[in-house]
Structure 1
Amino acid sequence: MSGTDKSKAGLSLDGPIVILVEPQLGENIGMAARAMGNFALSALRIVNPRDGWPNIAAQRAAAGADYILDKVELFDTVGEAVADLDLLFATTARPHDQAKPVVGPEAAASEISGHVAAGGKAGILFGRERWGLTNEEVGLANRIITFPVNPGFASLNLAQAVLLVGYEWFKRATSGQLPHAMPERSERASQHQMQAFFDNLIRELDRVEFLRPAEKRDTMLVNLRNIFTRMEPTKQDMHTLHGVVMAIAEGRKGPAKGGVLDGEQATRLRALLAEHGQGGGVPDSGSTVRGLARLLRRNPTDAERLLWQALTRDRRFAGGFKRQTPVGRHIPDFVSFPHRIAIELVNAGENEAIVADRVARRAWLEARDYRVIEMRAADVERGLEAELERLQEMMSQSA
């Protein structure tokens, strides 16, 4: 798991010494050191590593636990590595038929914690990757540690074994304290605040006739209230929920609607562009006008969005049309280059400048063999299929 907080100081605890017996791969040594670092174990001894020491593969796999590898103690034999210890555990997944206590990692951690606290010196033996510890090596230990694993697949990676023991020891040494907790929340919402939100919610639900049939209204209200009371919301939660309800009630706006313009706004913007002599064309001067034209192109009205969805999803038209694409210096609302058809949407309340601009654009397109079909935005919103049939008829005439 990633996410080490570099701003926090690590713990320095007196714990057991980890002893790796004849490890074969440098990567396993490095990963074992990383597991030690996770749980504030810092003393590592290695008995006769196969690939020698130092080992670049171990450093790469340590993922920042170099401070452990830098202080590694090397020994030729297990006997030498454990000579100064007065409590020794041997980890193994196999029964060695030796008359000594067999404990799990939690019980071992408990005994180690008490032993180290009393001034003792404890160590844990971890065997070779392929075949673990010999009977003689296990015989040096006071206790055997084994893990509650699947008996049909009991073998653990070396670093995994170190991690399991380290976790239990660290949990014991720190009383299981977690490194971080949920941040402080704002104070719990009052009953008054809850009621104000709920009154607002009910008012909006009544407007859309959600609370019906009438005979189930009271039960539905109780169920709704219980949803929010179970949450134990804070004052901030209530502010957020109130905002959500009002946003839904007032209708979608901005990018959530697919655009920031309604039909009236789009009409005013088209008029502004037409009056500046830009028409539907690509503005070539004036950053403000260029920005407004770009806004018009990028933010379709409801009618534009409905028609565009039909033109892209209906098999009769799919792939044949483009939206707000330049034809010369003009930009019709929709254009089909294969069929040489342009679609112009007419919004209600258009002024003379917009009408004149559209007439000029139509003349320009028709002079270049484009056929122009005008659709009223209101007709698209009320009866889209009729407009699509009209378009299909025009397309069949050009086939």
Structure 2
Amino acid sequence: MAGAGTDKTKRWVVQPGPVVILVEPQLGENIGSAARAMANFGLSRLRLVKPREEWPNPQAKKMASGADRILDDAVLYESVEAAIADCTLVLATTARAHDQAKPVIDAAGAAKTMAAPVAAGETVGILFGRERSGLENDEVALADYILTLPVNPAFASLNLAQAVIIVAYEWFKHATAGALPFAMPDRSPPVSKQQLHAFFTMLEHELEKVEFFRPPDKRATMQINLRNIFTRMNPTQQDIRTLHGVVMSLVEGRKGPARGGLLNGDEAALLRTLLAEHGQGRVPNERGPVRGLARLLRRNPTEAERTFWDALMRDKRFIGQGFKRQVPVGPHVTDIVSFPLKAVMELIPVEETDTAVTARAERRAWLTERGYRVIDVEMAEVERDLSAVLSSVAAEIDTVAR
């Protein structure tokens, strides 16, 4: 997420709110984190009572993550009394019972309590104590309310910024009536019953072909259950169009032969021969027709090539080595190449024309001159003993890697 939700193009929320007062904060990082928490929920006024580290503090700005304006406007005081002098209502946050006869409220209750005075233009302050020891008894005594949270009694201490963000969140939620900044967009209208019924008809027709509805006496129940699955989804028109496409893709496979591609194995072999006679697509123009045929070959390997490539990609000895199919290296389109290893695999078909043999020799010379290790992989051997071929290639790759 860019900026983790921060968007400087949007308006900064400026609205009346309570003042956050940090009493003798020990670390600049905690002040910055507290300022960030305030900015998250629309609080802008920060007061600091005798911060331990020098102010301004570069670590505070770093941790504020863009909430600089709150730090820039922060006001320093020498005592709690001075920091709350203009307040008509003060709340003291604490995790400990101070045995003082004051109303005790939680963060949500504090938001309700502060709402009317803030709306009337009065200054309301929330005291947050030191990171290590919190507020002292005499400081809590200055407050009108004690603000605490329902936490684990055996581990009640919160990080300073955590305490600030919980209180700020409840304040902002109350002030905005809990309005969320965005909702799920309605990108497609709900599906009509006619469209849904057409989808059911198509789906059941295809399932019938593969004898899904067995035994026959369970067919009606299975159809009802299947329809209820999709009905409970409340799908949109786009959902149903997508599901229709998914089902048809599974039924028909890729266009052409069921195993993928536009060409069958024999046609792919003829294409490879044609490319070999034209220097593997060695043309100066990237958009040339022969280069286009090379891209077509990547989608339409021969059966042996497909078998070898699939095995190569599943073999842990080759994983992470950066191998790619039918990728240009200079003017040549290589069968398989690893740029990190500077290794090229030449897939040699069972039958080759003299032109193809000559072109392959020229290609090997060009690659070798530029530091590439060229490994010949005989497709006849792949068909005979794939495991042995992979082991042989792995041994040569190991040599290259060293």
What TM bracket, shorter-length normalisation?
Answer: 0.7 to 0.9
Q: Distance in 2 between the 1:94 and 1:238 partners?
A: 57
In the superposition, relative to structure 1, how do residues 266 and 76 fare at CA in structure 2: closer, same or farther (>3 Å)? same
Secondary structure at 2:126's aligned position in 1? strand
Equivalent residue, structure 2, for 1:318: none
Where do 1:301-316 residues align within 5 Å? 301-309=302-310
Deviates most, 43-52 or 134-143: 43-52
Equivalent residue, structure 1, for 2:231: 229
Letter in 2 for 1:300: P
Secondary structure at 2:20's aligned position in 1? strand
Secondary structure at 1:2's aligned position in 2? helix
Equivalent residue, structure 2, for 1:208: 210
The alpha carbon displacement at 1:110 in A equals 0.7
2:264 maps to 1:262: yes
Q: Percent identity?
A: 56
**Is residue 93–residue 129 contact of structure 2 (8 Å, CA) maintained in 1?**
yes
2:198 maps to 1:196: yes
Equivalent residue, structure 1, for 2:189: 187
2:178 maps to 1:176: yes
**Is residue 11–residue 40 contact of structure 1 (8 Å, CA) maintained in 2?**
yes
Secondary structure at 1:49's aligned position in 2? coil
In the superposition, relative to structure 1, how do residues 134 and 286 fare at CA in structure 2: closer, same or farther (>3 Å)? closer
Q: Distance in 2 between the 1:226 and 1:58 partners?
A: 56
The alpha carbon displacement at 1:135 in A equals 0.6
Where do 1:54-73 residues align within 5 Å? 54-73=56-75
In the superposition, relative to structure 1, how do residues 85 and 286 fare at CA in structure 2: closer, same or farther (>3 Å)? closer
Equivalent residue, structure 2, for 1:90: 92
The alpha carbon displacement at 1:293 in A equals 3.4
Q: Distance in 2 between the 1:342 and 1:42 partners?
A: 68
Where do 1:341-356 residues align within 5 Å? 344=349
Q: Distance in 2 between the 1:109 and 1:172 partners?
A: 6
Equivalent residue, structure 2, for 1:165: 167
The alpha carbon displacement at 1:78 in A equals 0.5
Letter in 2 for 1:87: L
TM-score normalised over the length of structure 2: 0.76
Equivalent residue, structure 2, for 1:7: 9
Letter in 1 for 2:124: A
The alpha carbon displacement at 1:157 in A equals 0.8
Q: Which runs of 5+ in 1 are unaligned?
A: 316-321, 334-340, 347-353, 365-369
The alpha carbon displacement at 1:295 in A equals 3.9
In the superposition, relative to structure 1, how do residues 150 and 258 fare at CA in structure 2: closer, same or farther (>3 Å)? farther
Equivalent residue, structure 1, for 2:244: 242
Give the aligned CA root-mean-square deviation in angstroms: 3.8
Q: Distance in 1 between the 2:265 and 2:244 partners?
A: 28
Secondary structure at 1:155's aligned position in 2? coil
The alpha carbon displacement at 1:4 in A equals 1.9
| Corresponding residue pairs, total | 353
In the superposition, relative to structure 1, how do residues 68 and 268 fare at CA in structure 2: closer, same or farther (>3 Å)? same
**Is residue 17–residue 43 contact of structure 1 (8 Å, CA) maintained in 2?**
yes
| Deviation string, structure 1 residues 181-225 (Cα, Å, up to 9, x no partner) | 111232111111001111111121122222222222222111111
Q: Distance in 1 between the 2:83 and 2:272 partners?
A: 86
The alpha carbon displacement at 1:342 in A equals 7.8
Where do 1:21-36 residues align within 5 Å? 21-36=23-38
Letter in 2 for 1:103: I
In the superposition, relative to structure 1, how do residues 345 and 132 fare at CA in structure 2: closer, same or farther (>3 Å)? same
Q: Which runs of 5+ in 2 are unaligned?
A: 317-323, 337-345, 363-375, 393-402
Q: Distance in 2 between the 1:373 and 1:198 partners?
A: 46
TM-score normalised over the length of structure 1: 0.77
Letter in 1 for 2:271: L
Secondary structure at 2:39's aligned position in 1? helix
